[in-house]
Each structure stands twice: as structure tokens, then as C-alpha cells.
């Protein structure tokens, strides 16, 4: 049996003997006999000839059923998505012809394993390329078999793997904070609450507070977990359940945090692009992709307000922006698209940011906070230095009208050996939407969850 791509090892010849990983069927391996298993990605029938492109997740392979094989009932009625086994000889494709990896399998035998329906029930009728978006989402389990949807999942896997690799290279350890919690991180309006054995509990909005409790034993630490937000608006970048890459760095200052973020983002991209199969997929998804220039543009919130006023981009009330305004999604995206490079937007006012953020010494109206903005998507990262003084944190709970008692374990980080520390959260789906040039985060996760959708 061999795998259809060349990216996973172990190509085994039927009979005996191992084959090398990269097989060149135009040379001494021409005519190698193999057995392949997969699903019909495409089929084209001609008189006495049936071309089948098989797919097995490792790659695609063109197979040719010729002569009597092409005249069998199974070949004549072959449908897309049917799973099958084919044995035959591997040849390079004739000059002028094209096939994946430049090779084709000349079948001498095949078996149908699981027949897929044709006619009205055929997959091509269920998932139509330009179909209505809601129907396509209902049919996402079938849509995922397509080349674009599946390549986004391959890139996603590579990106997540690259984050793990980069963090481990830097000596960070990974922990797994709980998803069921009794504290809020990013404000009460997006909490999903539920009954936890008779007590109130929530689905976590962010693992940040738990990561902070891990730094005293772990040092720099990270997690890749689900976060949940009861977002009551339907936008192209908001999900109710998303994958959150979060890290917390000990004994740092704000500038260290920004430099780390640049290194991490660029390091992950380099790691991903070093994988030839993924690089080829990215080239198709986003042919204009360019590695971001370092350092990223740094822009204080107050300068962004001035920029928005100068460029006549109004706030949500249709008025010129003023200090203290939340920069809404539309304005943020317009600014990012015009500037057209990654931006570190820093030093947001205390009032519009979360309770835990450290204030800037020079200007205590603002926080040592950062959003990373990317063209096409806007904010992909939110981070900050954390308040490390016990009394200040107690005052922050009070200011926000929060009862400090459920946060006792979080407050203790300041009581038992406090340290200057900071961290961030990166939305994996948004990072992918930017990297793969996708209009919406709904296409960069396996099964999106947002208001009104909880299936498949």
C-alpha cells in the first residue's frame, strides 16, 4: 500500500521490500506495482478509459482504468466520493499530460469499498461551489472534502503545530487550564453561563487568569485552548467558540512583550512556510502573501485617534473619534487596510480595557496594552502587562464593580511573590483568515459556532 502524497513516509511495494520516501517513477522505479486506497475525488469516463483521481488525505493520485476494467459495471457507474482499492503499476505521465506528482497508476484490478450515491444525492448536488452560504454551512461535513476547505484545515494544523514548536524552542511549557470556570476575564456581556451542580458557572472567555497562576511554578507558559464568547452580533470575525493561543511571560516589560510577539508571529510563519506541502497550499490560497516586515509599526491609541480624525473615519455615532472612544471593528479595519501592514496598537485608555491591565507610569490614563492589527482582518491579538500590585488590583475590582472573592486565587499571584509580567491571546481562526486571505473566520475552523448555528 502507498499513500497518495509524498509527504508521509513508508511507501511499501506490494510483495517485498521497502521503497524510499521520494519515488521517482520516471527512472528505475517505473512500473512499480502498488496498492492504493482512497476516495474518488474526480472521475472522467471515456470509451474504454476511465480516469479516477483518488484522494486519501495524504495527497491525490491519478489512476487509469483501461480496456475491460473500464467496461465493468462498477467503473461505468463510478461516482465521486466512492471509496475504493486499486492495484496497478505506477508510471510517469506521458509528455504533455498533467497529473498530481506527475505520475499515474495503471490499474490492473480494483474493488469498490463504499459506494457513494449519484443522481440527486450526488455530492456535487449537495455542495455547489457558488451555493447559498447557509446551505453550504449545513453541508460543511461534505464541503470539507473539497480542495479549498480541506487545505485550510491542513494549514490550520501546520500553524497550530508551529506555535507548539516555537514555544517549546523558547522553553515555554504548555498547561491546560479549565474551560468551566466561575470568573470572567473580558466583561460580563459575552459570558455563556450554565448550571454547574446547582452553582453558577461559565464557559471560559480566556485562560489568561489561570496562565498567570502558572508562571510562579512554570516561568513562561502557554496554552492552546478553546475560548467561548456569547457574541450577539454576526460579523465575519466573531465566533462563539474559538481556538485561543495564549501565553504569559514572567519578569518582562512592555517592550519585551512586543518584541516577543513579533518574533512569535514571524517565527510561526517561517516554520509553516518551511513545509513544502503547506507552502504550496498557501501559495494557492493567498498568492500575494508577504512575510511581515519587522519591526511592526507601533502606534499609540491616541495617535490612532488623531489618524482616524485626519482621515475622516467616524466613530460608531458617525462623529469624529475622540480620546476614550472604543475603535469599532469597521474603523479599525479601514485603518489597517489603508496602512496595509501589521500594526501594534498600544496604550488604550483604562476605561475601555479589562480590569487587570497595568497602567502606564508616564500616563496613568492609559494601559500597557496592545492589539495586533492585520490587513484584511483587523485585530488578531490582544495583550497587555498585568497589574502586579495587590492594592491596585483590589482597587480595580472595586472600580469595575466586581466581587473580588471568586478571584482569590488570581489575587494571590500578587500576594505570594508578585512579578512584572504580561501576556496575550491570539485568535487562531483570525490569524488563519489573515494568512490564508479568507473573508471570514467561519471558514478557518472545522465547524463554526456563532449566534444561530450549532450544527453540524
How near is the Cβ of 229 to ligand 4AD at its closest, in Å? 4
Nearer to ligand 4AD, 239 or 278 (CB): 239
How near is the Cβ of 327 to ligand 4AD at its closest, in Å? 13
Whether omega for the bond prior to residue 350 falls within 30 degrees of 0, making it cis, is: no
SS3 call for 404:
coil
Q: Does 238 bind ligand 4AD (CB under 6 A)?
A: yes
| C-alpha separations of 228 from 144, 374, 381 in Å | 23, 22, 16
Kindly report the number of other CB atoms within 10 A of residue 234's CB atom.
Answer: 11
Q: Which residues pair with 400 in a beta bridge?
A: none
Q: Does 156 bind ligand 4AD (CB under 6 A)?
A: no
How near is the Cβ of 315 to ligand 4AD at its closest, in Å? 19
Among 166, 229, 260, 347, binds ligand 4AD (CB under 6 A): 229
CB under 8 Å to 179, separation ≥6 — which residues?
Answer: 203, 204, 225, 226, 228
**Count of residues interacting with ligand 4AD (CB under 6 A):** 24
State how far the Cα of 42 lies from the Cα of 183, in Å rounded to an integer.
51
Burial 138-153 (b: 16+ CB within 10 A, else e): bbbebbbbeeebebbb
**Within 13 Å of residue 132, how many CA atoms lie on the same side as its CB?**
3
Residues 174-193 binding ligand 4AD (CB under 6 A) are 185-186
State how far the Cα of 234 lies from the Cα of 362, in Å rounded to an integer.
39
Q: Does 381 bind ligand 4AD (CB under 6 A)?
A: yes
Q: Does 342 bind ligand 4AD (CB under 6 A)?
A: no
How near is the Cβ of 426 to ligand 4AD at its closest, in Å? 6
| C-alpha separations of 356 from 119, 181, 260, 398, 421 in Å | 59, 17, 20, 12, 11
Q: Is 383 exposed, middle or buried (CB count within 10 Å of its CB: 0-12, 13-18, 19+)?
A: buried
CA dihedral 323, 325, 328, 332 (to 10 degrees): 10
SS3 call for 443:
helix
Scanning 274-407, the segments in alpha helix (DSSP H) are 276-285, 301-310, 329-339, 390-399
Stretch that binds ligand 4AD, among 51-59, 127-135, 238-246, 286-294 (CB under 6 A): 238-246
How near is the Cβ of 335 to ligand 4AD at its closest, in Å? 16
State how far the Cα of 159 lies from the Cα of 444, in Å rounded to an integer.
12
Q: Does 368 bind ligand 4AD (CB under 6 A)?
A: no
Stretch that binds ligand 4AD, among 160-168, 215-223, 261-269, 418-426 (CB under 6 A): 418-426
Among 56, 246, 325, 332, binds ligand 4AD (CB under 6 A): 246
Q: Does 424 bind ligand 4AD (CB under 6 A)?
A: yes
Binding track, positions 190-209, relative to ligand 4AD; x by CB under 6 A: ----------------x-x-
How near is the Cβ of 385 to ligand 4AD at its closest, in Å? 10
Nearer to ligand 4AD, 301 or 424 (CB): 424
SS3 call for 31:
coil
Q: Does 442 bind ligand 4AD (CB under 6 A)?
A: no
Per the CB < 8 A criterion, the answer to whether 257 and 422 are in contact is yes
How near is the Cβ of 387 to ligand 4AD at its closest, in Å? 13
Nearer to ligand 4AD, 104 or 429 (CB): 429
Q: Does 348 bind ligand 4AD (CB under 6 A)?
A: no
Q: Does 380 bind ligand 4AD (CB under 6 A)?
A: yes
Nearer to ligand 4AD, 53 or 184 (CB): 184
Q: Does 423 bind ligand 4AD (CB under 6 A)?
A: yes
Nearer to ligand 4AD, 61 or 299 (CB): 299
Binding site for ligand 4AD (CB under 6 A): 185-186, 206, 208, 229, 231, 238-239, 242, 244, 246, 379-383, 423-427, 429-430, 441
Amino acid at each position: 500500500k502507498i499513500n497518495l502524497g509524498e509527504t508521509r513516509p513508508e511507501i511499501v511495494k506490494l510483495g517485498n521490500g521497502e521503497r524510499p520516501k521520494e519515488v521517482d517513477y520516471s527512472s528505475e522505479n517505473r512500473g512499480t506495482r502498488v496498492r492504493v486506497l482512497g476516495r474518488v475525488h474526480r472521475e472522467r469516463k471515456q470509451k474504454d478509459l476511465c480516469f479516477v483521481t483518488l484522494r486519501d488525505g495524504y495527497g491525490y493520485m491519478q489512476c487509469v482504468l483501461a480496456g475491460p476494467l473500464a467496461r465493468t459495471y462498477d467503473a461505468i457507474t463510478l461516482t465521486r466520493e466512492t471509496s475504493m482499492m486499486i492495484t496497478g503499476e505506477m508510471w510517469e505521465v506521458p509528455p504533455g499530460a498533467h497529473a498530481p506528482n506527475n505520475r499515474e497508476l495503471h490499474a490492473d484490478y480494483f474493488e469498490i469499498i463504499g459506494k457513494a450515491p449519484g443522481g440527486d444525492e450526488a455530492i456535487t448536488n449537495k455542495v455547489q461551489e457558488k451555493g447559498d452560504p447557509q446551505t453550504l454551512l449545513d453541508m460543511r461535513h461534505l464541503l470539507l472534502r473539497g480542495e479549498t476547505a480541506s487545505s485550510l484545515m491542513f494549514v490550520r494544523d501546520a500553524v497550530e503545530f508551529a506555535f507548539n514548536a516555537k514555544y517549546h524552542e523558547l522553553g515555554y511549557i504548555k498547561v491546560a487550564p479549565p474551560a468551566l470556570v466561575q470568573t470572567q476575564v473580558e466583561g460580563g456581556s459575552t459570558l455563556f453561563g450554565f448550571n454547574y451542580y446547582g452553582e453558577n458557572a461559565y464557559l471560559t472567555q480566556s485562560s489568561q487568569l489561570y496562565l498567570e497562576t502558572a508562571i510562579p511554578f512554570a516561568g513562561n507558559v502557554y496554552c492552546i485552548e478553546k475560548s467561548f464568547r456569547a457574541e450577539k452580533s454576526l460579523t465575519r470575525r466573531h465566533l462563539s467558540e474559538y481556538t485561543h493561543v495564549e501565553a504569559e511571560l514572567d519578569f518582562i516589560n512592555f517592550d519585551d512583550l512586543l518584541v516577543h510577539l513579533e518574533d512569535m508571529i514571524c517565527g510561526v510563519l517561517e516554520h509553516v512556510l518551511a513545509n513544502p506541502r503547506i507552502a504550496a497550499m498557501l501559495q494557492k490560497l493567498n498568492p500575494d502573501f508577504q512575510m511581515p516586515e519587522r519591526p511592526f509599526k507601533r502606534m499609540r491609541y491616541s495617535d490612532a485617534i488623531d489618524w482616524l480624525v485626519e482621515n475622516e473615519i467616524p466613530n460608531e455615532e458617525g462623529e469624529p473619534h475622540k480620546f476614550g472612544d472604543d475603535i469599532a471593528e469597521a474603523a479599525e479595519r479601514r485603518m489597517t487596510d489603508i496602512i496595509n501592514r501589521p500594526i501594534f496598537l498600544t496604550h488604550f485608555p483604562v476605561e475601555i480595557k479589562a480590569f487587570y491591565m497595568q497602567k502606564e507610569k508616564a500616563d496613568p490614563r492609559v494601559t500597557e496594552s496592545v492589539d495586533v492589527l492585520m490587513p484584511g482582518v483587523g485585530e488578531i491579538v490582544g495583550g497587555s502587562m498585568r497589574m502586579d500590585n495587590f492594592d491596585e488590583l483590589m482597587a480595580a475590582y472595586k472600580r469595575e464593580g466586581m466581587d473580588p472573592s471568586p478571584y482569590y486565587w488570581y489575587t494571590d499571584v500578587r500576594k505570594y511573590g508578585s512579578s512584572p509580567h504580561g501576556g496575550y491571546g491570539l485568535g487562531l481562526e483570525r490569524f488563519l483568515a489573515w494568512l490564508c486571505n479568507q473573508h471570514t473566520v467561519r471558514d478557518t475552523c472545522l465547524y463554526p459556532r456563532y449566534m444561530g448555528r450549532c450544527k453540524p
